[in-house]
Amino acid sequence: MAASRIVIENCAVATVDAQDTEYASGHLVVADNRIESVGAGPAPEGLEKVVRRIDGTGHLATPGLVNTHHHFYQWITRGVATDHNLFDWLVALYPVWARIDEPMVRAAARGSLAMMARGGVTTAMDHHYVYPRGAGDLSGAIIGAANETGVRLTLARGSMDRGRSDGGLPPDFAVESLDDALAHTEETVDKYHDTSFDAMTRIAVAPCSPFSVSTELLRQGAELARRKGVRLHTHGSETVEEEQFCKEQFGVGPTEYFESTGWLGDDVWMAHCVHMNDTDIAAFARTGTGVAHCPSSNARLAAGIARVPDMLEAGVPVGLGVDGTASNESGELHTELRNALLINRLGARRELALTARQALRLGTYGGARVLGRAGEIGSLEAGKLADLVLWKMDTLAHASIADPVAALVLGAAAPVTLSLVGGRTVVEDNRLTTVDEEAIAHATRVEARRLARIAAGD
């Protein structure tokens, strides 16, 4: 049967392929769920079964954005503890998060996904690690929300087994036992992980952080992930306090500790990695361990400036992350393109730290590489999945900027005229086509207020 085709023409194209190929005026042909061709000028003539032809004049086509670190549930605790560092912020919010349940998580996931998708994200990631007793099917709620929105998802099934009575930060009733954490993680992998090329759902094993999980959970979690053939994710080297904690508890810094528990490798990526010395960066490069760079959250929690230019120079895989919206209230990955460039220019390399095209690569191909999907998504190349975004660049906000990539990265958030995930329309004319934005906004407000009442003891 002949493939149904969508043809996009007359737009600027940034492919983010290995050569950073760009076309000032080019075309894309989508056949079913794949990119069939991309190149300069108009599309080839004589194409069969063209179901839609789009004039992309005034637009820039890029790969869909790939988010490598997020906590969807935090959508309903935004704007809280706004002047805290990480540890104080966690102490303030863990008692609230410990009260979440399935309806709250579903609403928060829908809100997080809708905001990202409307802003050009085609592959999302959720690191969910709060599983209070009796809260319901939280993983199922998250995956259901992603399926409804039409966005690809990597669910990093998190866990914590070190509550306050064991020297951790979360309340005891918000953590799982070692055996339960491992068993429930394995169940999630078995039920939801899809290994196919065009998978909409992948699962990763993701104990939360060194200060909320036991050494044994890290070790056995790594063994579980490798036995199941899935990726591993956690928080690492986020703050000075975390480094001090690791040295006090384990006698080494975070990177050495992670390596001792099997948590470095080309199947691993870690969030933040702000406080990395030369030896740490070399260890990540040597092992192929990836990094989810979250510049807005790092700034919001005063964690510091990650050495992203040094990581890239060393060959460390780096993608971008929104992080939870309790530490990045905008919830958009486009913001991270801009902030990654600007914040890194405050570091030692100043204006030479990152370029606009490097920032775009971090948010597309870099993220795909970190999630283990660089062969499927992250660049506009024939044979890859048709996950792409058509950004409107001829409005007041961008029209006077000649370079469309610079306009996208440095300018205001560009409207999304079209976003495709596997050739399926998810956003059109800056509106979600798969879900009702107003209904989602209402549900998140209701659930946020319910959580606040429960946390306050009402």
Instruction: Say how many CA atoms lie within 13 Å of 262 toward its Cβ.
Output: 17
Where do runs of H (alpha helix) occur along 334-436?
Answer: 334-344, 356-361, 367-370, 404-410
**In 3D, which of 92, 208, 85 has the Cα closest to residue 455?**
92
Task: Give the count of beta carbons closer than 10 Å to the beta carbon of residue 241.
Answer: 15
Q: Is the separation of the CB atoms in 147 and 113 below 8 Å? A: no
Please give the angle made by the CA atoms of 195, 198 and 202, to the nearest 5 degrees.
Answer: 45
Q: What gap in Å lies between CA 260 and CA 258, rounded to an integer? A: 5
Domains of the chain plus CATH, in order, are 5-63+379-432 (2.30.40.10), 65-370 (3.20.20.140)
Coil/strand/helix, residue 432: strand
User: What are the backbone angles phi and psi of residue 31, rounded to the nearest 5°?
Assistant: -115, 110
Q: Is the separation of the CB atoms in 449 and 94 below 8 Å? A: no
* pLDDT by position in tens, the chain (length 458): 668 999 999 999 999 999 999 999 999 999 999 999 999 999 999 999 999 999 999 999 999 999 999 999 999 999 999 999 988 998 899 999 999 999 999 999 999 999 999 999 999 999 999 999 899 999 999 999 999 999 999 999 999 999 888 887 788 888 999 999 999 999 999 999 999 999 999 999 999 998 899 999 999 999 999 999 999 999 999 988 888 889 999 999 999 999 999 999 999 999 999 999 999 999 999 999 999 999 999 999 999 999 999 999 999 999 999 999 999 999 999 999 999 999 999 999 999 999 999 999 999 999 999 999 999 999 999 999 999 999 999 999 999 999 999 999 999 999 999 999 999 999 999 999 999 999 999 999 999 999 999 999 85
Bridge pairing between strands 5-14 and 22-31: antiparallel
Entry pTM:
0.97
Coil/strand/helix, residue 91: helix
